[in-house]
């Protein structure tokens, strides 16, 4: 770095600080708007039932070692036998659920609302930043970077002689977009933090096939090695109590 750029303090007062504040405020606004638009849909009882069955099977798998092996076998048969076990899905019904999911307009509507509430503010903010703040050297990162980062950090200013650690206003917007996630999870609670992942799950849930997860749970239940943990506990209790008494 041969010579430092001298940046006008007006850039700080009228570009850097307003941009950051606006990003925070828009994040908060987006959170409340998406909270308002979230429709509380009544879930399909069949899907809820299947989900509960999966949770029960998972609990059985987790706590398998705390019940005698006879009881475990009885429960396993209850879940996974081939005739009327809860986890067993007849072959014909597999496609049915997916078609049902597609025919449900509420679902698609809800997803669209969520996506829109993400995309619209982002596009608007980006357009706003482009319109007002294009071409400013707004900030400087306090650590050196290689030339490869130039396109990332100096988006919008075409000067190849400026040191890479100087950040253009448009790239400052992107930095804010990614870096403020932690701040939002602090000030808005965890809901906001999980919002993205939930959206992803909904995306995946579109082609989601309940019979598949039932089958997977059945398989993993089938291969559980049962070993009753409690017989050793009597000896352990004996030693503990002896220690207490003596």
Partner 1 sequence: MAGRNDSGASGKKSSDITNDLQIFNTENLQSNMKVIYYSRTFLSIIGGVIAGILGFTGLTGFIFYFLIMAITSVGLMAKAKFSVQSYFDSWNRILLDGFLGGLMSFVLFWTFAYDIVHIF
Residues that bind partner 1 (CB under 8 A): 7-9, 11-12, 16-17, 20, 65, 138-144, 167, 175-176, 178-183, 185-186, 190, 229, 232, 235-236
| Shortest CB 88 distance to partner 1, Å | 27
| Shortest CB 19 distance to partner 1, Å | 10
Closest to partner 1 by CB, 15 or 89: 15
Q: Are 163 and 182 in contact (CB under 8 A)?
A: no
Q: What is each CA distance from 49 to 87, 184, 218, in whole angstroms?
A: 11, 35, 16
Using the 8-state DSSP alphabet, how is residue 26 labeled? H
3-class secondary structure, 144: coil
7: CB partners within 8 A, 6+ apart: 137, 140
21: CB partners within 8 A, 6+ apart: none
Closest to partner 1 by CB, 207 or 231: 231
Closest to partner 1 by CB, 5 or 48: 5
| Shortest CB 239 distance to partner 1, Å | 9
The token pair that represents 126 in the structure block? 């980006």
Q: What angle do CA 233, 239, 245 make, to 5 degrees?
A: 130
Please tell me the number of Cα atoms within 13 Å of 84 on its side-chain side: 0
| Shortest CB 58 distance to partner 1, Å | 10
Distance from first CA to last CA of the chain, Å, rounded? Answer: 74
| Shortest CB 206 distance to partner 1, Å | 27
Using the 8-state DSSP alphabet, how is residue 162 labeled? S
Closest to partner 1 by CB, 23 or 89: 23
Closest to partner 1 by CB, 74 or 145: 145
Query: Sign of the CA dihedral 166, 171, 176, 181?
Result: negative
> Closest by alpha carbon to 39, among 103, 117, 97, 96?
117
| Shortest CB 229 distance to partner 1, Å | 6
Closest to partner 1 by CB, 47 or 175: 175
The token pair that represents 76 in the structure block? 């396993």
| Shortest CB 113 distance to partner 1, Å | 27
Closest to partner 1 by CB, 83 or 234: 234
């Amino acid at each position: 770095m041969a010579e430092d750029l001298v940046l006008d303090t007006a850039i700080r007062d009228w570009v850097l600080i307003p941009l950051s504040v606006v990003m925070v405020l828009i994040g908060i606004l987006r959170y409340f708007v998406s909270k308002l638009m979230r429709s509380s849909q009544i879930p399909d009882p069949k899907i809820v039932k299947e989900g509960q069955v999966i949770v029960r099977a998972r609990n059985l798998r987790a706590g398998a070692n705390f019940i005698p092996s006879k009881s475990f076998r009885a429960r396993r048969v209850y879940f996974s036998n081939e005739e009327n076990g809860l986890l067993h899905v007849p072959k014909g019904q597999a496609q049915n659920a997916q078609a049902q999911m597609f025919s449900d307009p509420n679902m698609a509507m809800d997803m669209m609302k969520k996506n829109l509430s993400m995309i619209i503010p982002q596009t608007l903010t980006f357009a706003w930043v482009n319109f007002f703040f294009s071409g400013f050297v707004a900030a400087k990162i306090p650590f050196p970077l290689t030339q490869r980062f130039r396109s990332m950090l100096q988006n919008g200013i075409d000067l190849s002689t400026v040191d890479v650690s100087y950040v253009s206003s448009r790239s400052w917007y992107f930095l804010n977009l990614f870096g403020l996630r932690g701040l939002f999870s602090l000030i808005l609670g965890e809901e906001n933090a999980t919002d993205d992942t939930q959206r992803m799950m909904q995306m995946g849930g579109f082609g989601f096939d309940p019979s598949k997860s039932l089958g997977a749970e059945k398989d993993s239940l089938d291969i559980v090695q049962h070993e009753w943990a409690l017989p050793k506990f009597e000896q352990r209790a004996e030693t503990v109590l002896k220690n207490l008494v003596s």
